[in-house]
Amino acid sequence: HDIPGLGGDFQPAELSHNAKVVIERRIAKRNEQGDAVETPDEVFRRVARNLAEAELRFGGTEQDRAAAEESFYRLMASLDFLPNSPTLVNAGRELQQLSACFVLPVPDSIEGIFEAIKQTAIIHKSGGGTGFSFSRLRPANAKVKTTMGVASGPVSFMKVFDAATEAIKQGGTRRGANMGILRVDHPDIDEFIEMKADMTTLTNFNISVAVTEAFMKALEAGTTYDIIDPQTGAAVAKRDAREVWEKMVRNAWKNGDPGVIFIDRINASRANPVPKRGPVESTNPCGEQPLYPHDSCNLGSINLKHFTKGEPGAKTVDFERLRTTVWRAVHLLDNVIEMNQYPIPEIAEVSHAIRRIGLGVMGWADMLIDLRIPYNSEEALRLAREVMSFIQKEADAASEQLARVRGNFPDWADSIYGPKGPEGPRPMRNATRTTIAPTGTLSIIANCSGGIEPVFALAFIRSHYLDKNDPTKRTELTEVNEQFEAVAKAEGFYSEELMRFLAEGGHLSERPEVPKWVKDVFVTAHEISPEWHVRMQAAFQEFTDNAVSKTINFPNSATVDDVRISYELAYRTGCKGITIYRDGSREFQVLKHAEKS
């Protein structure tokens, strides 16, 4: 129970203006007038105190509890690490629903479908996102025995899930986000692929096709693959793999959907640690978390921006501090599982049996900038592997150590870590340890770049509202990336005019006064080719148990072929899935996937 890093005086990190606004509006307790009644520091204290209570349930003393509380408080208040926002919002409050995401099974019966919709409503109300596979549903026009009528099929039922989500909208904090999956060998695959072509339907869903190994083989060979009746398991037709792939790629080019998940690869990986609970049929809404039916995941992210040391221009990664932080974060997330009030009993059962956690990173692009490494470089890929393999190894070791004190996760004997498993026997407290989340809210609070995404813009114009009841009273301010501003000043090329130029969409590459190394290091999302985006995702995936949230950005001028090449590269480089976005291809441009969902 010795917790390192707790000596000396502690200074909480200073919060940015945007961080304070986000905490006030989306995280803190509010009174009936809607005003925050907690300071950010009180939020971190509330969460730390609540999560530390788990120590007593594991036989710890009051001293252990107090030490854990202080450890957790410092992790968060330093902005070195944050648990997913439902934990920040709900820990120590009435709801106590701490997970970001869930997957619910959708059985092939009216009772089952509407039970899943009811469970979805309960989850959305509490701030969680949901993923579903619709692959078990019989296709449209199949027979319905009890009525002698015909079935409506997965696509039409998905619209009912969407309408239910629309009606709930989660009381203001988070919008209900859904992932809808269909297997590529389902008879209704064409309707599914096309279903978001009209951007007014299914606005509360991301959709992805679950692509099988058999399909990928057929695609490579240019042959057909079997379409399978979900009720009987029999092959009922053959389809040309390239034709179906072309349709997927063309629709993704048009407006981003569908994405793809490589379902057999997911099931053959560490994301499927207890095969008897599976197979995994779906991921959560942003794709980073494959889950069993009725599974949940508690995520948390380390802010890599804080893990460099040395003089500007000669910095290195602070692996020692990173190690301590990983250990403390795994401890905190294991406590989240214990303190969580799961929305339905089936989810509580699975979550306790496997104790799945997802520790990941944010601020990766900021770390690279600090180290003066361009995002689109071999050096960045090498460092990605070094940092993530380090985190994975330490998270495994931390979970193993917790298992020695608190016991293995209950399904351990049947898991890949058990006596007969390919990775066992190895003590393990948590069936998975690592996931890379989008960190949509967390990265604003920590004032860092999101997940492993590159910096989106070096400067932008933000409207500041001066009177919350009157939207016409506002000023527009140019906000500049903090690291860029510091370098611009140190290198002597800072000017108001340059910042405005960048905020209005100008590129650094067009400016002769800016040194070449600065142009290389401050590369932004749209200047990075899709190939580098995919290779970065693959580098992190190699050392992540679950999956990696990443949006592969394309310029508006990208062709359907460009998209096809990226989808195939994602497969070849070992990614578990891929989501793309072509600039300007949706009516309302979103900054990134996370903000859409």
- Between residues 376 and 597, which has the closer beta carbon with respect to ligand UDP? 597
CB-CB contact of 305 with 285 (8 Å): no
438 binding ligand UDP? (CB under 6 A): yes
**DSSP per residue over 28-81, as a string?**
S-B-TTS-B-S-HHHHHHHHHHHHHTHHHHTT--HHHHHHHHHHHHHHHHTTSE
- Given the residues 178, 284, 430, 447, select the one marked as catalytic: 284
208 binding ligand UDP? (CB under 6 A): no
C-alpha to C-alpha distance for 116 and 137, rounded to whole angstroms: 13
Q: At closest approach, how far in Å is the CB of 287 from ligand UDP?
A: 7
Q: At closest approach, how far in Å is the CB of 404 from ligand UDP?
A: 30
- Given the residues 55, 288, 394, 400, select the one marked as catalytic: 288
177 binding ligand UDP? (CB under 6 A): yes
Question: Could you tell me which of 125, 72, 112 has the C-alpha nearest to residue 341?
Answer: 125
| Residue 288: DSSP 8-state | S
121-140 binders of ligand UDP (CB under 6 A): 128-129
The H-or-E segment that residue 251 falls in is helix 241-255
441 binding ligand UDP? (CB under 6 A): yes
Reading the block at residue 237, the tokens are 């037709």
What single letter denotes the amino acid at residue 187?
P
- Between residues 210 and 228, which has the closer beta carbon with respect to ligand UDP? 210
576 binding ligand UDP? (CB under 6 A): no
Is 346 an annotated catalytic residue? no
Q: At closest approach, how far in Å is the CB of 119 from ligand UDP?
A: 15
CB-CB contact of 83 with 336 (8 Å): yes
Instruction: Point out which span in 311-319, 321-329, 439-447, 494-502 binds ligand UDP (CB under 6 A).
Output: 439-447
285 binding ligand UDP? (CB under 6 A): yes
- Between residues 296 and 376, which has the closer beta carbon with respect to ligand UDP? 296
Reading the block at residue 306, the tokens are 């804080």
100 binding ligand UDP? (CB under 6 A): yes
Q: At closest approach, how far in Å is the CB of 90 from ligand UDP?
A: 12
Q: At closest approach, how far in Å is the CB of 346 from ligand UDP?
A: 18
How many beta carbons lie within 10 A of that of residue 555, not counting itself? 13
The H-or-E segment that residue 121 falls in is helix 110-125
- Residue nearest ligand UDP, Cβ-based: 129
53-92 binders of ligand UDP (CB under 6 A): 84-85
Instruction: Point out which span in 70-78, 144-152, 432-440, 464-472 binds ligand UDP (CB under 6 A).
Output: 432-440
- Computed on alpha carbons and rounded to an integer, the radius of gyration of the chain in Å comes to 24
First to last CA, the chain: 39
Is 90 an annotated catalytic residue? no
Is 111 an annotated catalytic residue? no
Reading the block at residue 63, the tokens are 């001293």
119 binding ligand UDP? (CB under 6 A): no
Question: Could you tell me which of 87, 187, 184 has the C-alpha nearest to residue 128?
Answer: 87
Q: At closest approach, how far in Å is the CB of 457 from ligand UDP?
A: 19
437 binding ligand UDP? (CB under 6 A): yes
C-alpha to C-alpha distance for 229 and 232, rounded to whole angstroms: 6
Q: Contact residues for ligand UDP (CB under 6 A)?
A: 84-85, 100-101, 128-129, 174-175, 177, 284-286, 288, 299, 437-442, 594, 597
What residues are annotated to the active site?
284, 286, 288
